[in-house]
Amino acid sequence: MKNGPKNGGVSNDKRVTSAYQSLTFSRRMLLTSGAQVAVGAVLIGRLGWLSVAENEHYQLLSESNRVQLIMVPPRRGWIVDRKGTPIAINRSDFRVDIIPEQLVNTEQTLKTLAKLLDLSVDDVDRILKDLKAARGYQPVQVAENVPYENYAAVTVRLPELPGVQPMRGFSRFYPDGPAVAHLVGYVGTASAKDYEREKNPLLITPGFKIGKEGLEKTLENNLRGTPGGQRVELSARGKLVRELEPKPDRSGNTVQLTIDAGLQQYAARRLGPQSGSVVVVDCHTGDILAFVSMPAYDPNSFSQGIGRTEWKMLADDDHLPLLNKVTQGLYPCGSTIKPLMSMAFLEAGIDPDRHVVCTGSYRVGNGIFHCDKVHGSVDMHTAIEKSCDIYFYDTGLRAGADIIASMARRLGFGQHFELPVSSQRYGTVPDPEWMQRKYHRKWQAYDTINMSIGQGNILVNPLQLALMGGRIASGKSIQPRLVIGEKTPPAQPLPVSAEHLIFVREAMSAVVNSGRGTASGAKLPIDGVLLAGKTGTAQVRRITMSERAGGVRTNESLAWKMRDHSLFVGFAPVEQPLYACGVIVEHGGWGAAVAAPICRDTLTFLYDPDKAMAVLAPMEEQWGGTLAERTARQAATIEAAAQAALIKRPA
């Protein structure tokens, strides 16, 4: 014990007395007071630190506690065509939401709503789940696109439905329906993944949609706008204390496209039930006037969220309505490559007057290559006009693959363009170097022969096909453009000889206008406007020797999937070209029979819409109604199938 009575205490000379004790007391009191003052100083310092130095920080936190923004989704910007005709707009519709905080009797309210709005059991489950996850004042969606009768029924019974909020909202509307589907895409509710990426509370606001495909997706930033908000003061428990000054929303920007909506719709209707694409470009600016891929889904029904049945029907369709063929469909270009070939031949110094005798077949080594007819002695002009393959086999071998590939690239094949489209497949321009890289083998003569008639490894998309027509027509290295307002430098002149271009344009004109050409049926029914072009029929199957011996089978006798692709590239008017057009009809058969008339009618529409419509009317009658009628009928079929599936499910 250090403080034991014997040896404890202070040293002997310092006796602990009352006087000493009082001295200790004063000293200890001084220490205590000092400590108290120090603590007081710390407290004051801390108070000052919090309320002065950190004031701004805490004020911000306090404000974010106090004020909450109830998002008012902005109206999406319109998409209009080059003349201002709407392509994608907003239609006001009715919607019903629930404010969880104000909800009194969840079960009773939902029961009433289910009856009034015809909600399914799944819908009610979804609402219950959302309500559980919801906090405070964030509304939960009950239903959108509510028919007026049901909306009115809810409104009338509002007094007995506290927390239910019938509202007018907006939904996206595409007046042209499927005709613009692959161009503009569609909108939809943001997925969990979208929200993860952006962390924007707007995305989970009921009724808000984002672009899911096409231009709606790629131009999202421009179209979205800024949300407004009803600013409210909320208590910690989410109770509304008072409404503050609202912050107005700002609609998204209107986006003007280079598209001509009328032409777009016409081309889509003209394709009819066939699987294909039509692209029309301005020869001088590269403006895309029509960007059509058919068949297509109805973006209106997609934007409301499509059912499982509709999705399945679309996904199973062999005409691929979900694929944007304009930029994602790749095809052998067939004989449409011949003008391009001729350009390469001329550049290689081959005399256009050089004649090749067509006997219907051509032998290289062990292989025999065929022509569809026996053309006799042909020069370059005639070879284009009549589409003689033998001429191109023979001359192609003389010119060599490299110069052909170079010309193909200059005319836009294999090129990737700066376009606001979700994805582009830019195809293949084969050459010896590519062959080595891809297939590890040497370029062979038959590769040149295949390429000279646009078969084999060469693949293009419809946009590239149309652009080749535009580049030949104008002699400019035009780049495609979809959105007006984007600053694009004027097109550079094409690095080819102008004389060669004139020669090829004349030959292409002869294809349509000489009376001897392959596309004589595609003459424009417009006085003084001549169409020039080139047909193409791309084989998708190998014709065996035995079949050739017994006569090549006609397309009609083959299964749809085995038939030839039908292609056409053209421009008009011949003298001063304005428009270029590329048409590809999958498994359509002869280029001259299917694709060329589509190009003719589409370009006719630009000059005389009535004349073009007159041609279309009997065709649509045969196909079973206009595009709109057929779309409506298909929607009814889908609805019936979905109903049938629904009835089957519970069993």
Partner 1 sequence: MISSAIIPQPLAKLPWRLIFLVAGIACIGLMTLYSAAGGSIRPWALKQAITFMVFLCIAVMMSWVKESTIKSIAFPLYGAVLVMLILVELLGFVTKGAQRWLDVGFLRLQPSEFMKPAIVLVLARFYALLPAGDIRKWRAIWPAAALIGVPALLILVQPDLGTCVMVVLGGVTMMFVAGVPMRLFLAGAAAVGVAAPIAFSMMHDYQRKRVFIFLDPESDPLGAGYHISQSKIAIGSGGIFGKGFLNGSQSHLDYLPEGHTDFAFATMVEEWGLFGGLLVILAFGAVIRWGMTVSLNAPSRFAQLAAAGLSATIFFYVSINLMMVMGLAPVVGIPLPLVSFGGSAVMTVMLCLGLLMSLERQQRTSSKLV
In the complex, which residues of this chain contact partner 1 (CB under 8 A)? 1, 3-5, 8-10, 15-18, 20-21, 24-26, 28-29, 31-33, 36, 39-40, 42-44, 46-48, 50-52, 54-55, 57-59, 61-63, 65-66, 233-237, 241
Least Cα distance to 311 among 88, 645, 647 occurs for 645
| Minimum distance of partner 1 from residue 253's CB (angstroms) | 37
| Minimum distance of partner 1 from residue 140's CB (angstroms) | 21
Closer to partner 1 at the Cβ: 31 or 374? 31
The strand ranges marked E within 515-576 are 532-538, 565-572
Q: Name residue 567's amino acid.
A: L
Closer to partner 1 at the Cβ: 51 or 120? 51
| Minimum distance of partner 1 from residue 101's CB (angstroms) | 14
C-alpha distances (whole Å) from 637 to each of 294, 309, 631, 633 are 19, 10, 10, 6
Q: What is the 3-state secondary structure (H, E, C) of 117-152?
A: HCCCHHHHHHHHHHHHHCCCCCCEEEECCCCHHHHH
- Cα 380 from Cα 503, distance rounded (Å): 10
- Cα 146 from Cα 558, distance rounded (Å): 48
Closer to partner 1 at the Cβ: 19 or 545? 19
| In the block, residue with structure tokens 């039908």 | 566
- Cα 188 from Cα 183, distance rounded (Å): 16
Closer to partner 1 at the Cβ: 32 or 554? 32
Q: Which of 275, 335, 342, 566 is catalytic?
A: 335
Burial label, 259 (beta-carbon count in 10 A; 0-12, 13-18, 19+): buried
> Catalytic site residue 452?
no
Closer to partner 1 at the Cβ: 16 or 646? 16
Closer to partner 1 at the Cβ: 9 or 201? 9
| Minimum distance of partner 1 from residue 39's CB (angstroms) | 5
- Cα 147 from Cα 444, distance rounded (Å): 66
| Minimum distance of partner 1 from residue 9's CB (angstroms) | 5
Closer to partner 1 at the Cβ: 29 or 636? 29
* Token output for 583: 């048409």
- Would you tell me how many other CB atoms lie within 10 Å of the CB of residue 144? 20
| Minimum distance of partner 1 from residue 51's CB (angstroms) | 4
The DSSP symbol for 555 reads G
Burial label, 133 (beta-carbon count in 10 A; 0-12, 13-18, 19+): exposed
| Minimum distance of partner 1 from residue 259's CB (angstroms) | 51
Q: Which residues are catalytic?
A: 335
